[in-house]
Amino acid sequence: MTTKFLVYASTCILLAAPSLAAGLPATVTGEASAGLIQLATTGNPEGLHKEIGGKITSSEVVATTVGHATLDGLLDTANQEHLAPMALVMPSGEIYAMVAPTITKDNFVLITADGIARRMDVGASEGTNRPFEVAMIDPSRLPTTVTGVASEGLIRLATTGNPKGCRARSEVGSRIRGSSRRRSARRR
């Protein structure tokens, strides 16, 4: 009896582990609900709101919550991707908003309560209706050089490519070297 219980308990933990480890809400594990599919394909959060509650608000809440740089990291701004006008905000902290327009037309942004921003695909265009993660940005794993206020030297490095004035150890964590293009030109 004990062996059967241990096998059963281990199986349950293993099946639950991906969603628990990822910190994903139940709405994006397993098969997607009609409301989540509606949000991801049309940008209308009404159906998901009826299913799970929350508050419908402007999708600007996404940029306000995670910052424009994080949001731009999830969107292909070169191809005019943006968020649909409305988003769904849950009392527990999750935020759902559609990515528009996309090639597959079934992507959405999910911000979980722990502040992790994810670009998700609802799986409608694949015919599975099983949401999966396309990209993730965890702000707690970003180096301090890309969070908070950037120094003058770091801004110069990012905008001009000139590392002069950038305090290598304190701002980037190592010494600054010339680009590989310059080094290979010197070798010739």
**152 and 59 assigned to the same domain:** no
**155 and 87 assigned to the same domain:** no
Q: Mean pLDDT, the chain, as a whole number?
A: 77
**63 and 126 assigned to the same domain:** yes
In a domain, residue 7? The reply is no
Domain that holds residue 118: 24-141
**78 and 165 assigned to the same domain:** no
Percent of the chain with pLDDT over 90: 42
For 46, the enclosing helix (H) or strand (E) is helix 46-52
**136 and 166 assigned to the same domain:** no
Residue 160 binned pLDDT confidence (cut-offs 50, 70, 90)? confident
**136 and 162 assigned to the same domain:** no
Predicted pLDDT at 4:
40
**67 and 128 assigned to the same domain:** yes
Model confidence, pTM? 0.66
In a domain, residue 17? The reply is no
Q: Do the bridges between strand 55-58 and strand 132-137 make them parallel or antiparallel, or are there none, so unpaired? A: unpaired
**86 and 159 assigned to the same domain:** no
Q: How many domains does the chain have?
A: 2
- CB atoms inside a 10 Å sphere around CB 66: 20
117-144: per-residue pLDDT in tens?
999 999 998 999 999 999 998 877 766 5
Contacts 24+ apart (CB under 8 A), 4-13: none
Angle at 20 between CA 86 and CA 140, to 5 degrees: 65
**114 and 66 assigned to the same domain:** yes
45-57: per-residue pLDDT in tens?
999 999 999 999 9
Give 171 or 19, the one with higher predicted confidence: 171
64-112: per-residue pLDDT in tens?
888 888 888 898 888 888 999 999 999 999 999 999 886 668 999 999 9
Are residues 128 and 148 in contact, defined by beta-carbon separation less than 8 angstroms?
no
Please give the single-letter amino acid code of residue 143: P
| The domain boundary residue, chosen from 141, 158, 176 | 141
Predicted pLDDT at 102:
67
**80 and 114 assigned to the same domain:** yes
